[in-house]
Amino acid sequence: NPNGAEHITSQSNGALTSATMNIANMSVHQQHQNAQYASIGRHQQESWKRTPLMRGHSNGSLATTTHPAIAALPAAGVPAAVQPSPPPLSQIVSSEETSRPLSRPPTSDPAVYGLNPVYSLSPAEVYSSVTEPYKYYNGFHFFFSHISSRMDKKNVMRVSRAIAHFRPSLVALLRNLTREDLVFMEKSLQRALLEYEKLIGFIGTPTVVWRRSGEIVLVGKEFSILTQWDRQQLISGKRFIFELMDVESAVVYWEQFAVHAFENSEHAVMSECKLVRPDGSIVPCAFSFTIKRDLFGIPMAVIGNFLPIL
């Protein structure tokens, strides 16, 4: 039927025209949305660049600054190629500052080696001043004369047995050392005293450092307050730690020292003792000491800490 075919053809043409118009309308709508998104993006970018970041100062006030990454974004409508390039580093930092190596400020004040220092040598002075081995035999000679005049026969025998316990090991290690080794040992001790004094100045515990012979080489101010002994007098007067103890405490110390002198560990030895003040009064204390050894495994120094028993 010609009329029916013409009617179908007109309907098909109408549907095709309607679909084409819908596609065109969708394309126009999508373009409109894209334009809105681009406008929102430019507006958000300008908002970020105008929004300052808050940075706190040390005085409690607040200052505003712009993040470098945000400030580097190109402005709206301006191509990135025409943005000004940042100035070279040579214009920001002088050539002297860029070429100057990092260095620590000089420290020549003896106070840097400890709080209220008694041992005021610098590391350079330690290495240049020590030229001879330390004569330990003078200290041990005084030790034996001291116990002979102060202790009875029973206590002298106890101390002698303690000395005989570690003396063979000490002699065996010392006999193979050269003069240069002995000088190095003394330099090591003197250098370690600089670090010990800094530590003693910060811990606030009554502390004394002495040689393996008992000769005192470093005293904390808290120990002077506890015992009323003058620090300079104890160091420059060649005083020995066993002189500041009563007889029983001195004997027990040497017995404990003999047991732990050549151990592999450096743990603290806990004990009790009675310190003697210059006026003869007694100060009961909880007492601990740690034996520090040098490169050759020989006892170099003993660090003792005292706390009064109230």
Position 78 pLDDT exceeds 80: no
Q: List the structure tokens of 303.
A: 């660090």
Range with the poorest average pLDDT among 38-47, 74-83, 123-132: 74-83
The predicted pLDDT at position 232 comes to 87
The model's pTM = 0.62
CB 150 within 8 A of CB 247: yes
Position 90 pLDDT exceeds 50: no
Position 239 pLDDT exceeds 60: yes
Range with the poorest average pLDDT among 108-122, 149-163, 167-181, 242-256: 108-122
Query: What average pLDDT score do residues 38-48 get?
Result: 55
Distance of CA 192 to the CA centre of its chain: 16
DSSP line for 286-310: EEEEEEEE-TTS-EEEEEEEEEE--
Look at residue 167 and give its three-state secondary structure.
Answer: helix
The 10s digit of each residue's pLDDT in 289-303 is 999 999 999 999 999
Helices (H), the chain: 2-50, 68-71, 89-92, 95-99, 123-129, 136-150, 153-174, 179-203, 221-227, 231-236, 247-260
Q: Determine the Cα–Cα distance for residues 195 and 192; give it in Å rounded to an integer.
A: 5
The predicted pLDDT at position 118 comes to 54
